[in-house]
Structure 1
Amino acid sequence: MVAISVLSPSPRVEKLDSTTPDDLLAFGKAFCAQASRTVDKLQHAGDLWLLSADDASTLMDAVMESFRIQDQNVHHRLYVCSAAQPARMIRSPSQKTTVVNVTPGSARLDATGLKVTHVVSQSDVVKLLYDSRACLGGALSSTVEELELDVGAALTVQASTPALVAFGFMARDHTSSLGLVEDGRLVGSLSASDLRGLAAEDFPLLLLPAAVFAAKRALGPAVAVSLISTLEEVLAALVGHAIHRVYVTNAKGAPVSIITLTDVLRLVTKA
């Protein structure tokens, strides 16, 4: 089990003291004005992994090779494409999954000759796994502790931490979520996706305590399981709430770990 890590906001609070709601409103207006920018101006460097719609790839091929699920840095979605220019493509070792390395500026259809037909995400695969859970047999009744799903670190901040500080921690530490704790108990969660749809006039809300920000934005509660929860219960929580992670809490409600979609897919694809 990995102990939780509570992040102290004090270094950032000093900088926050000089930030006003008007400052954030002005920044929000400037940021939202970028909505008119085209996607090719916003993309970042990296590989884009695609599966040719004409290939006879299995779902396991997609998860293992395109998601790269057993690697440290995984992909969370897969773009299924028609192959208009096969000569531009690099075949994978299995000769089933098509991989295309797209660099900034070359991701346009006329440059790659690819047409996206579908998008497959980790959420889609875990939902299919849950719908077909009978194939998991006895593993369904195994507990979080027995399956060693309790090894992921649960990063947390105090619920009173300003939301802007909490999101700052996420950016600094390259993490997509933080648990919110009060008196040691898990009371909420923030994720990077909670910033989606934030209008310019909502930016001053970032000065509020993270728990208040979550309430103002009507964000759902943190979903938790326990060390004795079964794999079936974990899958049901992830799929039923359409979320990317569940926290593992102890008898006192304190977060001790976290389980992500990636953790589940690593478990079921582990040799």
Structure 2
Amino acid sequence: MAPTARPSERATVDKLQHAGDLWLLNADDASTLMDAVIESFRIQDQHVHHRLYVCSTAQPGRMIRSPSQKTTVVNVTPGSERLAASGLKVTHVVSQSDVIKLLWNNRAVFGPVLSSTVESLEMDDGAALTVPATLPALEAFGFMARDHKSSLGLTDGGKLVANLSVSDIRGLTPEEFPLLLLPAGEFVAVRNGVAGVTKEQALAGKRVEGAEEGKYGVLFEKAPVVTVKESSTFEEVLGTLVTKGLHRLYIVDDNGAAISIITLTDVLRLVTRP
């Protein structure tokens, strides 16, 4: 007789999402972007939200006024955000990236702060987690899951050469799972099309040139990881994040070793700091 499936094994996808609340903003004329960033993104908290959903009028019983009384935040438990269940209709999605773009387009309001350095603004305080590019991708993703991180820097001889992100497994099919056994540097190169080897060839056993010798610095010369220095200005950080469409920037020393990291959350925390 086949073993009985546990409840979690029978659950549908929408019930398996990350535990927590879906926060939605019912904006009105009194709402400000600052309210949304601080209260809906919870940007000053340890666990932030990366996007919020702007909704049409919700059922009054589900509406919670924010402390500022300027933003209506609707708290909906996962799986109940359907229109029929909550009366909510999402009209827009606002992400941290959207806010950073807005800041960049209106950067003149920052005045002298634009020329302040990463070091002087204390944006280099966070630790940059790195692993050797030779570490199996599956093991590297395991570190990310354990430490609740969305990325890891990949190093070659101590020098940062690439970034491994949770987005690198987006769309990975079960047939492609063997790619996770490749070294993380090789996995990133294949997944991002900079290896000269297709995923089909990699699955068939073809190795990326130089990977067996661990020469990942050479491999990523054509697509180097984007970095800044402690001497880089706030304007350079903002501009790089926006023009490159990035969610993070590594700070490196003169030898190319990662010493810290700047995320979109870090930037928003800086500009909304009490």
Show CA shifts across 1:131-176 (max 9, x none). Answer: 1111110010010001000011100000100111100111111111
Show CA shifts across 1:7-29 (max 9, x none). Answer: xxxxxxxxxxxxxxxxxxxxxxx
**1-side partners of 2:129 and 2:164: how far apart?**
11
Aligned residue among 164, 187, 209 for 1:213: 187
Aligned identity (percent) is 72
> CA separation of 1:225/1:41 partners in 2, compared to 1, >3 Å: closer, same or farther?
same
Aligned residue among 237, 242, 248 for 2:245: 242
Contact preservation (8 Å) 2:24, 2:75:
no
Instruction: Kindly state the Cα deviation for residue 94 of structure 1 after the two structures are TM-superposed.
Output: 1.2
**2-side partners of 1:66 and 1:169: how far apart?**
29
**1-side partners of 2:78 and 2:33: how far apart?**
28
Letter matched to residue 266 of structure 2: D
Show CA shifts across 1:244-271 (max 9, x none). Answer: 1000000000000000001101111112
Matches within 5 A, 1:1-271: 40-218=14-192, 221-271=224-274
Corresponding residue pairs, total: 236
What corresponds to 1:7 in structure 2?
Answer: none
Contact preservation (8 Å) 2:115, 2:234:
yes
Instruction: Kindly state the Cα deviation for residue 38 of structure 1 after the two structures are TM-superposed.
Output: 6.2
Show CA shifts across 1:90-119 (max 9, x none). Answer: 111111222222223422221111000000
**2-side partners of 1:237 and 1:93: how far apart?**
34
TM-score, normalised relative to structure 1: 0.83
Show CA shifts across 1:18-72 (max 9, x none). Answer: xxxxxxxxxxxxxxxx9xx965333332122211133531111111111111111
- Structure 2 unaligned runs (5+)? 1-8, 194-222
Contact preservation (8 Å) 2:62, 2:76:
no
In angstroms, what is the RMSD of aligned CA positions?
Answer: 1.7
Question: Which structure has more RCO (C-alpha within 8 Å, separation ≥ 6)?
Answer: 1
Show CA shifts across 1:158-214 (max 9, x none). Answer: 010011110011111111100001111000010111111112332111111111111
> CA separation of 1:73/1:182 partners in 2, compared to 1, >3 Å: closer, same or farther?
same
Letter matched to residue 87 of structure 2: G
Instruction: Kindly state the Cα deviation for residue 221 of structure 1 after the two structures are TM-superposed.
Output: 4.0
Which runs of 4 or more aligned residues in structure 1 lie more than 6 Å from their structure 2 counterparts after TM superposition?
Answer: none
Contact preservation (8 Å) 1:48, 1:99:
no
Contact preservation (8 Å) 1:46, 1:102:
no
TM-score, normalised relative to structure 2: 0.82
Letter matched to residue 135 of structure 1: V
